[in-house]
Amino acid sequence: MKVLLTGGSGLLGQYLNVTLSGDKEFLSLYFENTGNCHKFDSIRFDIRDKGKLSLLFGNFRPDVVIHTACYSRPEICAKLDRNEVYHLNVDATENIARLCNDFNSKLIYTSTDLVYDGSGKGLLKEDADLNPLTLYAESKLMGEIAIQRNCNNYVILRTSLLIGFGLCHSRNNFHNTFELLKSGRQVSLFSDQFRSPLALHKAAGFIGRLCEMSVSNEIINFGGKDRVSRLEIGEMICESGGFNKDLIKSTSCKTVEGIIQVPDVSMNIDKLAGYGLKQDDISDTIDLIIRNA
């Protein structure tokens, strides 16, 4: 099986490099950073270049394309020109979807839980109402739509907050929180924003298994088992790391000016588990992540 990965230098991409390179013919694409890509078959590649993308597909002829590359941070998208965000997150995704169709490749796309309407009580199923509030979330939803219109063999993974340690240059909120608490510094965490966090190593493992499975044309909630706030994640980090819980200051997202309120995009993950992609409780997962660090 030949697998092409976009975003190989990203937070998730670097875990995918490690997971996928073992038993598959694998090519990882990076752009401005290399991350761990130098350890694997990889090339520097701008996925906005339609002509070169077409040549790449013609040469490599992937059986599966895992498309993770994008402007992935809502706060960064908010500072960019709208067309620039669309050019990468939507237009490049549409080109990849068309090429997957032309070359009979299966497309696995990492979307986001932030496409859902997060104003309710959470534990959202795949058919729940959509209401992307940020340019980032809107562009990821438009990416989903472009894929559904242009590709006849896809899996869309509505991905939750990814927890675990970033490799090389990559950092996420989990990693930063761990470092602050470990060094005895105070950290403020929201008590009123709920997600279903998914461990990076699990996400990469599940994507590896989805490459092999005959799942097709499905949207799947790609999260963990439990609905938790960032505050609760911080408390679990303290318990597993042996850090002082008094370092955590509970805050409300309502008190931070300019922040877009998405109170609860926790997801029901029965569909994911139905494919045999099962997980432990979040406290055990965090314990394992910290023990293996």
DSSP-derived 3-state class of residue 284: helix
The footprint of ligand NAP on residues 178-217 (CB under 6 A) is none
Binds ligand NAP by CB under 6 A, chosen from 3, 4, 5, 7: 7
DSSP string of 232-249? HHHHHHHHHHT--GGGEE
Which residues are within 8 A (CB) of 116 and not within 5 positions of it... i.e. 6 or more apart? 124, 128, 129, 130, 131, 158, 265, 267
Q: How far is the CB of 284 from ligand NAP (least distance, A)?
A: 20
Give yes or no for residue 84 binding ligand NAP (CB under 6 A). no
CA–CA gap between residue 78 and residue 133 (Å, rounded): 11
Give yes or no for residue 10 binding ligand NAP (CB under 6 A). yes
Q: How far is the CB of 131 from ligand NAP (least distance, A)?
A: 16
Q: How far is the CB of 213 from ligand NAP (least distance, A)?
A: 19
> By CB under 6 A, which span of 10-18, 118-126, 232-240, 253-261 interacts with ligand NAP?
10-18
Binds ligand NAP by CB under 6 A, chosen from 4, 20, 27, 47: 47
Tell me the two tokens of residue 73: 């941070």
Instruction: Evaluate the CA torsion angle 278, 280, 286, 289 in order and state its sign.
Output: negative
Give yes or no for residue 11 binding ligand NAP (CB under 6 A). yes
Give yes or no for residue 221 binding ligand NAP (CB under 6 A). no
Q: How far is the CB of 85 from ligand NAP (least distance, A)?
A: 11
Give yes or no for residue 36 binding ligand NAP (CB under 6 A). no
CA–CA gap between residue 88 and residue 93 (Å, rounded): 7
Q: What binding mask, one character per residue, do residues 106-145 give for ligand NAP by CB under 6 A, x or -?
A: ----x-x---------------------------x-----
CA–CA gap between residue 237 and residue 245 (Å, rounded): 9
The residue at minimum Cβ distance from ligand NAP is 10
- 48: region left, alpha or beta (phi > 0 left; psi from -120 to 50 alpha): alpha
